[in-house]
Amino acid sequence: MKKAIVLTTAIFGLCAATMPLAEWPQAELSNGVIETTLYLPDEQQGYYQGTRFDWAGAFGNLTYKGHSFIDQWFDTYDPKMHDAINGPAEEFTPLGYADAKPGDTFVKIGVGSLRKPDDKAYSFAKYFEVADHGKWTVKRHKDQINFTHELTDPTGYGYRYTKTVRLSKGKPELVLEHSLKNTGSKPIQTSVYDHNFFIIDKQPTGPTVNIKFPFEVKAEGKGFGTTIQAEGNRLFYSRELEKKEQVYSAGLQGFKPVSSDYDIRIENQKTGAGVHITSDHPMEKLVYWACATTSCPEPYIRLEAPPGKEVTWKITYEFYEKAK
């Protein structure tokens, strides 16, 4: 497929000091309640050019009632670095990697056809050569952006992926609406998760941060039981994390396979700001990761689409301020 990116509307703005004189295609959205900036997909000048996360919807910032929710959480920036992206960022598990031989292609939805370099196991932290970026189409409106990514890979995988980033009218609400149509000859079986890189009011990870669920949460992993505690339906920290320190669980437990349990709150007890995350799909699993700057519940959704079929899903973010 010919490599192409079509932008019906693009805004070019000045970047941060980490990349002087660079121009990142970007767009601003507002519904009069929330304001946010998104970086647009561009294989030459895009803010995010890594091969891990979906290129549709790399956020620059988001504010509500004087509170900030999205900011740069990492110290070192490189456009091809796998995690040089602000949340909410989404990643699909790869298609066809296990069957591909070195030199063959495999597919990452929202990224393109990638070249497998060797027989080593797949690593999301690795940058892969992009054999085909596919075709991006971006339609911009005042309060929403529609991204469409189309790809046909020689292995038989093909898709039309549409993602709408929308601010609800008159509400402090951000909605991510997705559709994935299988246009290839092979069935699509993948999982997608949202790496919620929220930083609320630029506060560090520590006792001011609470994570809440509608179920009694159980957790094991690095830092759990010491640095971070599970108590009832919430996670909280016993102290602030030090620079380069991390906590991690490969799977929090306690939720049921129903969409009503995809219900997560991240709150800053000091400033009173919070974000409430819900979906119309159940969680397949719930990973948890945090560093000194951000706390990230990572809910996974399972997706399956036979050839010619389409699957849809939605994630909603409600921002709020607790009464003091």
Q: What is the pLDDT of residue 163?
A: 98
Q: What is the CATH number of domain 4-321?
A: 2.70.98.10
| Domain ranges within the chain, ordered by starting residue | 4-321
Q: What is the pLDDT of residue 323?
A: 72
Q: What is the pLDDT of residue 3?
A: 42
Give the percent of the chain with pLDDT over 90: 91
Residue whose tokens read 């709408």: 164
CA distances from 24 to 11, 19, 41, 113, 132 (A): 8, 10, 9, 23, 21
pLDDT band at 324 (very low <50, low <70, confident <90, very high): low
pLDDT tens sequence across 79-125: 999 999 998 999 999 999 999 999 999 999 999 999 999 999 999 99
In terms of Cα–Cα distance, which of 122, 125, 138 is closest to 58? 138
Query: What gap in Å lies between CA 131 and CA 113, rounded to an integer?
Result: 5
Q: What is the pLDDT of residue 14?
A: 30
How high does pLDDT run on average in the chain?
A: 93
Q: What is the pLDDT of residue 178?
A: 98
60: amino acid identity, one letter: G
For residues 105 and 18, which has the higher predicted lDDT (pLDDT)? Answer: 105
pTM given for the model: 0.91
Q: 280: Cβ–Cβ under 8 A, 6 or more apart, which residues?
A: 259, 313, 314
Tokens for 126, please give them: 């690795």
